[in-house]
Amino acid sequence: MHVVVCIKQVPDSAQIRVHPVTNTIMRQGVPTIINPYDLFALEEALRLRDVHGGEVTAVTMGPPMAEDSLRKALTYGADRAVLLTDRYFAGSDTLATSFALSQAIAKIGETFGAPDIVFTGKQTIDGDTAQVGPGIAKRLDLLQLTYVSKICSLDLDAREIKVDRRSEGGTQMLQSRLPCLITMLEGTNEIRRGSLDDALRAARSQIVKWSAADAGIEDLSKCGLRGSPTVVKRVFAPTARVEKAEQITTTDKALSDVADELIVEIFSRQPALEHELAFDASA
């Protein structure tokens, strides 16, 4: 089988700092990582390959430096990596991104064999939209299975897949067909440490680099800013609260006295709450 995994190189948002005076993002020196949600997708793809045979292709759209993330995917055990990079993609919103990636995936299909499953993470940690996966599915006319928590069974001969899917009130058990697009929920598997063999292979591997033209994209007006119906008009810092938290002092006091003081302060600010809490606690 052939599984394609879409990954994205993102800034490690845990390490992004906002400049205290200018309120701008300090991006210098912020390390990049593979979007953490995509790792669950990659791991699931590798597991399916390990059981059913075949190949895993990792693909990303991004600047040339996104090659680092693809090489990392190879060290985890992906068989092949494709970097879609072109200045025409700059400024893509989710609609333009899903267009470019769907074209690249179609080209991957022509070149290396049609994928049975396309995986993505449930969302990225920088954009947080969860829109690109469904967008790719629609563009490629793939069946769409989002927020998948478990792949219960896969029958390659019958082209049938059964999955558990997270919904608001519980878990849906779905049966669908291949080819399909799956967005993987976090915490669904444990991400492997790549083997030494994989690390050596990754170091030697060539990353396939495609421009828009290489991926067979003829209409560049569907890419980048020009292909994006949404436009960011304004970026601004949230209004910061002026005062810091009022501190309850703790020096020379028993913790129970501090707690008492805190509770008095809470109820003086939220008078209605005391009765509600008492009611809840007695319920």
Residue with tokens 């049938």: 160
CA angle at residue 89 from 84 to 91, to 5 degrees? 140
Indicate whether 93 belongs to the interface with other proteins (CB under 8 A). Answer: yes
Indicate whether 193 belongs to the interface with other proteins (CB under 8 A). Answer: no
Contact with other proteins (CB under 8 A) among 156, 191, 199, 258: 258
> In angstroms, rounded to a whole number, what is the distance separating the alpha carbons of residues 207 and 138?
27
Contact with other proteins (CB under 8 A) among 64, 175, 203, 213: 175
Q: What are phi and psi of 56, to 5 degrees?
A: -115, 125
Q: Which is nearer to other proteins, 206 or 230 (CB)?
A: 230
Looking at residue 141, the DSSP 8-state letter turns out to be T
Indicate whether 21 belongs to the interface with other proteins (CB under 8 A). Answer: no
Number of C-beta neighbours around residue 200 at 10 A: 12
Q: Point out which span in 69-77, 80-88, 197-205, 247-255 binds other proteins (CB under 8 A).
A: 247-255
| Binders of other proteins in range 39-78 (CB under 8 A) | none
Is 87 strand, coil or helix? helix
Contact with other proteins (CB under 8 A) among 68, 131, 192, 201: 131
Contact with other proteins (CB under 8 A) among 31, 204, 246, 252: 246
> In angstroms, rounded to a whole number, what is the distance separating the alpha carbons of residues 81 and 28?
27
> In angstroms, rounded to a whole number, what is the distance separating the alpha carbons of residues 36 and 126?
11
Contact with other proteins (CB under 8 A) among 41, 58, 137, 207: 137
Q: Point out which span in 55-63, 70-78, 206-214, 274-282 binds other proteins (CB under 8 A).
A: 274-282
